[in-house]
Amino acid sequence: MAIQIYELCGADETNLFSPHCWKTRMSVAHKGLDHESIATPFTSVATVEGGDSRRVPVIRDGDTVVEESFKIAEYLDEQYPDSPKLLHSGVDKAMTNFIINWSQTQLHPLVARMAIMEIHDALAPADQEFFRTTREKVFGMSLEDFATKMAATPDDLKKALVPLELTLKGQKFIGGDTPHFADYVVFGALQWLRICKGEAVLPQEGAVANWFNSLLDMYDGMGRAAKAA
Ligand SMILES: N[C@@H](CCC(=O)N[C@@H](CS)C(=O)NCC(=O)O)C(=O)O
């Protein structure tokens, strides 16, 4: 039976753009498992699976419900030990936390600064209102002011990606020879930008570009099949 993944969606239910949900989609595919996406708008997240979670991704695997992309990866490794691992030792999990925090503090804010209005505009009207209210509270300014005053460029992104560019000059993946959950963490951030803002703002050449393209093509091109803006 396919694993159900509750994923954030835009006004168009096939527009599944969330960075954290992409981590889970790629994780499920890495384990060789099928998935069924359940498109979930912002205003429905709080009702998913009885409403315990305020965030997606959430998965249902038979009778088991798991939320949070890192916990989902751990669950998949435990439940499906015969397929390639997403995470290995305790040390490996500990270091993956660094990648998660690096991605969320160095890449996610840049994606927001580059694409905040595009993210907003892709949502259904009720979700736009939710998104505006919650994000304006965090930013302390209107979305429009944030988009102009805090605007970031593809060059800013390229600079933030230097540690990854240097790493991938010497190895195929963050995980070494094969992808690891950490690869999907960073992939999720760039896929979010690709879907919301388009491919032109992503690195066009170099090690990060090659790595990202190889992940887009993996699992029968699942990542590339998601429409870029
Ligand atoms: N640490 C969580 C983060 C999940 C998260 O922030 N999800 C966002 C979607 S990208 C969400 O559900 N947001 C709902 C909201 O902002 O109300 C994970 O990796 O699963």
Report pLDDT digits (tens) over 173-213.
Answer: 999 999 999 999 999 999 999 999 999 999 999 999 999 99
Listed in order, the ranges of the chain carrying CATH 1.20.1050.10 are 90-225
Listed in order, the ranges of the chain carrying CATH 3.40.30.10 are 3-79
pLDDT of residue 101: 98
Cα of 52 vs centre of ligand 1, distance in Å, is 13
3-79: CATH topology is Glutaredoxin (3.40.30)
CB-ligand 1 contact for 19 (6 Å cutoff) = yes
Q: Give the largest CA-CA distance in the chain.
A: 50
CATH of 90-225, one of 2.102.10.10, 3.40.190.10, 1.10.3720.10, 1.20.1050.10: 1.20.1050.10
CB-ligand 1 contact for 10 (6 Å cutoff) = no
pLDDT over 90 for what percent of the chain?
A: 97
Overall pTM > 0.95 = yes
pLDDT of residue 52: 79
pLDDT of residue 196: 98
Cα of 9 vs centre of ligand 1, distance in Å, is 12
- DSSP states along 9-49: --SSTT----HHHHHHHHHHHHTT--EEEEEE-GGGGGGGG
pLDDT confidence of 45, banded at 50, 70, 90? very high
